Structure 1
Amino acid sequence: MNEEQKSGRIFDVAILRRLYAFVKPYQMRFYSLIGIIMLAACLAPLTPLLIRYTIDTVIASGDYPQLTLMLMLMIGVLVVQAVVQFSNTYLSGWLGQYIIRDIRVQLYRKIIQLRLKFFDNTPIGRLVTRSISDVETLADVFTEGMAAIAGDLLQLVLIIGVMFYTDWRLAAISLSTIPLMLFSTYVFKEKIKTSFNEVRTAVANLNSFVQEHITGMNIVQIFGSEQIESEKFRVINDQHRKANIRSIWYYSVYYPVADIIAAVAVGLVVWYGARQVISSDVTFGTITAFVMFINLFFRPIRMLADRFNTLQMGIVSTDRILKLLDSEEFTANDGKHTPATIRGEVTFDHVWFAYNNEDYVLRDISFKVSEGETVAFVGATGAGKSSIINLLSRFYDINKGTIEVDGVDVHEYELGYLRRNIGVVLQDVFLFSDTIENNITLGDKRISREKMVEAAKLVGVHDFIERLPGGYDYNVMERGSTLSVGQRQLISFVRAMVQDPRIIVLDEATSSVDTETEEMIQQAISKLMKGRTAIVIAHRLSTIQKANNIIVVDKGRIVEQGNHEELLQREGAYANLYRMQYKEVV
């Protein structure tokens, strides 16, 4: 069964216990809410009893002063009920919003700590559904869930008790339609539960489809697939519409049926009661009270089916949220090592790595980069070059072997400290919809504007940024769409450099830029590499000829290494790559 289609048990004690942990910071308000709901349930039978007493005693005796007093008392009860209802609605909504705020923050903190492997296997739309739709569903648990159900059940018990205490015969007649109401409520509950599952699945499909296709809109338009994708979206959107209409239909049928059943109960009471009034066995006030009792009794029953489904959906959403919060697919940050400085010596010792724990993409990789040296990795696409730098920054963890920085296993470093000391510039640059300054500093208050400007000048992009409207406050829009590929690459270069890392990693950093921009980057690299360790992955062999060591990777293994001249003289894999690129240039 699809995860989006699962139904949960209403009273799943383990999940409810976990859910209460989120309530605990607000437990005084939560208990106040329960008290208010209980008070509302106790007040419900009071008005019919007052009306019965007024009709049978006050009006019958012609005591007009007492009639005025009773009217004032009933108005007072209505005012109290209104205040209680307001308090119930506001407090339950307040509690729900504060709790889902805390859950959403905790959930997002968890998501940003998950391994990249998790995102490789999980659609982004599903995570959006968890963070937004599921959390919103969870809010309904507090506004219409457990406490409200408890209040409804208490109201039913109180009303039944008062009805039998008042007149057991009229009570029995009033409740004679209950089996029919319970049956229709059960059928409605099951139908609407299926409908809710379908709606939830349709929402998840819509989220995934829209997110993926907006992100990949350039591909859609490049290949002229607008009509095809529009048709796909129409189908998914129709499924969403049909699921919602089914839900609307069930509601449209159930509530009139419930009203008819309640009306039948009222008719039976009036029919039987009228005969008893004529024979003086029952008072007119009692019949009037029972008509009101029936309305008060059947309203919670009508609401219970909806509330149970709301609670059930909330339990399912909570279960999915908790599974994400409990996920162990996160990078452990148990290391405490934070030395004053990092020299930049990198060692891979017999490293094996697989993304799926079965198919190794790196096999027995061993090399050493001394402090201040530059090492370059070359090889065919899919050879494993990018995997090496992903492992160095602990975006993924190795299966076997060890990776050390300055002779210390990378797992012993505090994760944030390790990554701040490894500046990474990727081929596929991602910029947030924000200012250039915030895209460079990523909101790190430790980075002053002066330091940022200094790094930008060093890279050679300060003048270009100053020419933009607003300069460093210029909003680059989502994914940096208002900038060229080369400009985005240069900004990402500044973003890496402003952290003053001891290790520089360039993953195809110049493959997507023009010759002029590449020259700017190369000039910046020559300045920035001094005193730092550099790890470079490049397809253009002309950019790495001055590297201290060039490592050729093929099918996850190191096949040869050495400097440019040595590798050419060996007439091996590197020499073949060099000749192929030379032919392309010629």
Structure 2
Amino acid sequence: MTSKESNQTLKRLFSYAKPYRMYLIGALFSALVSVLLSLLLPVFLGKAVDFIAGPGKVDFNGLLRTIAYMALFIAGSCIFQWTMSFCTSKITYFTVKDLRNSVYEKLNIVPLEVIDKTPHGNIINTMVNDIDAVSDGLLQGLTQLFSGIMTIVGTIGLMLSINLGIGFAVILLTPLSLFVASFISRRTYRKFTEQTEIKGEMGGLIEEMLGNQKLIKAFSYEDRALERFKEINARLHKCGVMAQFYSSLTNPCTRFVNGVVYASVGILGAFSAIRGNLSVGQLTSFLAYANQYTKPFNEISGVITEFQSALASAKRVFALIDLEPEPSDEGLLSGIQADGRVSLKNVYFSYDKSVKLIEDLNLEVKPGSRIAIVGPTGSGKTTVINLLMRFYDADKGTIEVSGVDIKKMQRKALRNMYGMVLQDTWLFEGTVRENIAYGKEDATEEEIINAAKAAYAHSFIERLPNGYDTVITKEGSNLSQGQRQLLSIARVMLIKPPMLILDEATSNIDTRTEIHIQKAFARLMEGRTSFIVAHRLSTIKESDLILVMNQGRIVEQGSHEELLRKEGFYHKLYYSQFHVTQT
């Protein structure tokens, strides 16, 4: 990251902290006062030594007065250090909260293809680990950096006021400390940046493997998955070792510099004291300042190391925030009177622009029609659904609902016209009642129960420990796959939309239950335009129109009987599922 990029990143980060700048001002003020009080201690320590220097020359009154001042300074320094920590924590947590909110809000408005193309583990790692790194390395390190610089400047000023010669000697040794800090920070930044990227890669792999454990075990992929993990882990180990190696140089290197400065002050101060240019107390103050002067370099070196790591993390966070959102729906139609007519005219679309998928797709759907979409894997069936719902926008051509181009209406309005049941169910952690009412939060108890009965889910819900108040665990792990699918169907039964999309909606339900569900869908689909994506062709015989897709095109269309009589692509597809040959 260049210096310009670093400055831009810092500027953006502090724009998030701007609403809480009073806490920042409080932290900096507290740090300043705490440093000033701690800098006064060596002065009074030197005076205390001078009060007891020499036999019979102890000034008890002066000594007690000096000790009282020192106690006061120590207490004040502790109070302001606590205040500094309090203000720093406040601004850090508030800023991090807003930063995470910004990332989450952006994820809700980016196009679906961005989510599809980005490993989910990377996104999770950015939202959790990278933002934590920003919190620890940038925001909390700010006051440490400020107090460290103030300590160095203040210490130099006080040493010069005591003895110019020794003060200048310490200043001449300062570049050695700066060189050490610069040497370490440059090398740690590169390694911490690389380490952050590998952590994101590892997070993506772990998320992928944990989410597909059944598939991994079914295909005996454990060894290959382990090899992939080991390869990434080996790179992370190598990079981490080097990052920690350079980072670990901080303490011994700065301690060496501390020793050089302390020894120089001790030797020069001793000669000055012998010549009578310094009192014993002043020499004591000088030695205390020498120790105090070098200590901030340790802290600053550590802070700079964390800064480098945090800047790399902040860049990843802002890269996520800067993702291009979906075009605004402002000014578009908020709703239309949908009659169920759907039209696709000269539609072209592909996920990868170099690989053609849907080309010149044309379709006219009458109100209340049941449209089945069939075809081999990769033919474009689910892609048509994505286009109808505007999860993706067509590259060319228009899609109209009730004569209105869907690009002229708000996405929310369009999607509210459809009820959608997918093969992959999704349930959230909450009660059965809350999951059914997901699309209609103000639904009455009677409506929820009727929807469950219509989906043939009521009977199994009643057998659950707490009925409709039973809490579903994460992703519905305490329910069977079929039960989860029934609840998903009940959601649609509740909202009764004007149009339906059923994408393999009964694929995870046993045959007996499927018969009931098909009857329920038949009632639900009466008077509603329905799109049914199915691999089991036996489930779509009653459709008004069957669209047979292959390589992104509609190669055949007609009723079940018409398509069988043609003895074309559908004929082969249908009878291939029953392993019989027509003669």
TM > 0.5: yes
Q: Within the alignment, does 1:485 sit opposite 2:481 as a pair?
A: yes
**Aligned AA (1:53):** K
Answer yes or no: is 1:80 the counterpart of 2:91: no
Q: Deviations over 1:199-219 (max 9, x none)?
A: 323422331222111111112
Partner of 2:402: 406
Deviation per residue, 1:316-366 (Å, 9 max, x gap): 222221221121153643454233753322111111111123323111111
In structure 2, do the counterparts of structure 1 residues 227 and 547 end up closer, same or farther at CA, with 3 Å as the change threshold? Answer: closer
Note closer, same or farther for the CA distance 1:441–1:335 as it changes in structure 2 (3 Å cut).
farther
1:99-136 CA deviation, whole Å, 9 max, x = no partner?
11111122112113322211222111110111001110
- TM-score with structure 1 setting the length: 0.92
Change (3 A) 1:434 1:236: farther
How far residue 379 of structure 1 moved from its aligned partner, in angstroms, is 1.6
2:180 is the alignment partner of 1:184: yes
Residue 248 of structure 1 and its aligned partner are, at CA, apart by 4.3
Q: Does structure 1 residue 330 correspond to structure 2 residue 326?
A: yes
Of 471-480 and 266-275, the range deviating more from structure 2:
471-480
Residue in structure 1 matched with residue 516 of structure 2 by the alignment: 520
One-letter amino acid of the structure 1 residue matched with residue 20 of structure 2 = Y
Q: Whole-Å Cα distance in 1 between the matches of residues 247 and 533 of structure 2?
A: 61
Whole-angstrom CA distance in 2 between matches of 1:251 and 1:312: 11
1:243-392 pair list within 5 angstroms: 243-328=239-324, 330=326, 332-334=328-330, 336-339=332-335, 341-392=337-388
Amino acid at match of 1:35: F
**What residue is the counterpart of 1:14 in the other structure?**
8
Residue-by-residue CA offset, 1:396-450 (whole Å, 9 max, x unaligned): 1110111111212212222223222211111222333443333333386333443
Structure 1 residues 242 and 494, CA, compared in 2 at 3 Å: closer, same or farther? same
CA distance in 1, matches of 2:283, 2:53: 15
Deviation at 1:370? 2.2
Q: Partners of 1:434 and 1:231 in 2: how far apart?
A: 38
Mapped to 2, the partners of 1:553 and 1:223 lie a distance apart of 30
Q: What does residue 446 of structure 1 align with?
A: 442
Q: Which aligned segments of 4 or more residues in structure 1 are displaced greater than 6 angstroms?
A: 57-61
Q: Alignment partner of 2:363: what SS? A: strand
Tell me how far apart the structure 1 counterparts of residues 446 and 285 of structure 2 sit (CA, whole Å). Answer: 79
Work out whether residues 546 and 558 of structure 2, in 8 Å CA contact, stay in contact via their aligned partners in 1: yes
Distance in 2, matches of 1:582 and 1:273, equals 99
Cα displacement (A) at 1:154: 2.8
- In the TM superposition, residue 79 of structure 1 has moved relative to its aligned partner by 0.8
Q: 1:144, 1:307 within 8 Å by CA — same for their partners in 2?
A: no
What amino acid is aligned across from residue 430 of structure 1 in structure 2?
Answer: W
CA distance in 2, matches of 1:404, 1:447: 30
Who is 1:4 aligned against?
Answer: none
Q: Does 2:176 align with 1:196?
A: no
What is the distance in 1 between the residues matched to 2:312 and 2:249? 26
Helix, strand or coil for the counterpart of 2:109? coil
Structure 2 matches for 1:557-572, cutoff 5 A? 557-572=553-568
State the secondary structure of the residue aligned to 1:498: helix
| Higher mean C-alpha deviation, range 10-19 or range 401-410 | 10-19
Q: Is the 8 A contact 1:427 1:510 kept in 2?
A: yes
SS at match of 2:110: coil
Residue 574 (1) aligns with residue 570 (2): yes
Q: Residue type matched to 2:279 in 1?
A: T
For residue 501 of structure 2, give the secondary structure of its aligned residue in structure 1: strand
Instruction: Map 1:396-435; keep pairs closer than 5 Å.
Output: 396-435=392-431
Q: Which moved more, 1:421-430 or 1:309-318?
A: 309-318
Return the alpha-carbon distance in structure 1 between the equivalents of residues 227 and 455 of structure 2.
47
Conserved 8 A contact 1:486-1:517: no
- Measured in 2, the distance between the counterparts of 1:45 and 1:585 equals 95
| Distance in 2 between residues matched to 1:570 and 1:335, nearest whole Å | 48
Q: 1:455 to 1:341 in 2, by over 3 A?
A: farther
Seen in structure 2, the aligned counterparts of structure 1 residues 139 and 562 have a Cα distance that, compared at 3 Å, is same
SS at match of 1:349: strand
| TM-score (norm: length of structure 2) | 0.92
Q: Say if 1:364 and 1:202 are closer, same or farther in 2 by CA, change over 3 A.
A: closer
The 1:247/1:310 distance shift into structure 2, 3 A limit, reads same
How far did 1:393 drift? Answer: 0.8
Is 1:499 aligned to 2:487, yes or no? no
Deviation at 1:529, TM superposition (A): 0.7
Query: Paired residues, what number?
Result: 580
Question: Structure 1 residues 141 and 261, CA, compared in 2 at 3 Å: closer, same or farther?
Answer: closer
- RMSD, aligned CA: 2.6
- Give 3-state SS (helix, strand or coil) of 1:465's partner: helix
Q: Is contact 2:496-2:524 (8 Å) kept?
A: no
Q: Is the 8 A contact 1:59 1:67 kept in 2?
A: no
Summarize deviations over 1:544-582 as a string: whole Å, max 9, x none.
222222222221112232223333333333333334345
2:100 is aligned to 104
Alignment partners' CA distance in 2, 1:265 and 1:567: 92
Percent pairwise identity: 31
- Cα distance between partner residues in 2 of 1:500 and 1:79: 69
| Per-residue deviation, 1:583 | 4.2
CA drift at 1:261: 2.4
Q: Say whether residues 1:40 and 2:42 are aligned partners.
A: no
Return the letter of the residue paired with 2:101.
V
Cα distance between partner residues in 1 of 2:490 and 2:348: 32
Q: Confirm whether residue 553 of structure 1 aligns to residue 549 of structure 2.
A: yes
1:270 alignment partner, SS class = helix
Letter in 2 for 1:289: S
Greater shift in the superposed pair: 480-489 or 451-460 = 480-489
Q: Which residue of 2 aligns with 1:49?
A: 43
SS for the counterpart of 2:495 is coil
**Aligned-partner residue type, residue 19 of structure 1:** L
Comparing 574-583 with 323-332, which one deviates more in the overlay? 574-583
Stretches of structure 1 that go unaligned for 5 or more consecutive residues are 1-6
* Aligned-pair CA distance for 1:10: 8.2
Q: Which amino acid aligns with 2:559?
A: N
User: 1:440/1:109 Cα in 2 relative to 1: closer, same or farther (>3 Å)?
Assistant: farther
| Structure 1 contact 427–512 (Cα < 8 Å) conserved | yes
Aligned to 1:214: 210
Q: Which residue does 1:529 correspond to in 2? A: 525
Give the gaps of 5 or more residues in structure 2: none
Aligned-partner residue type, residue 322 of structure 2 = D
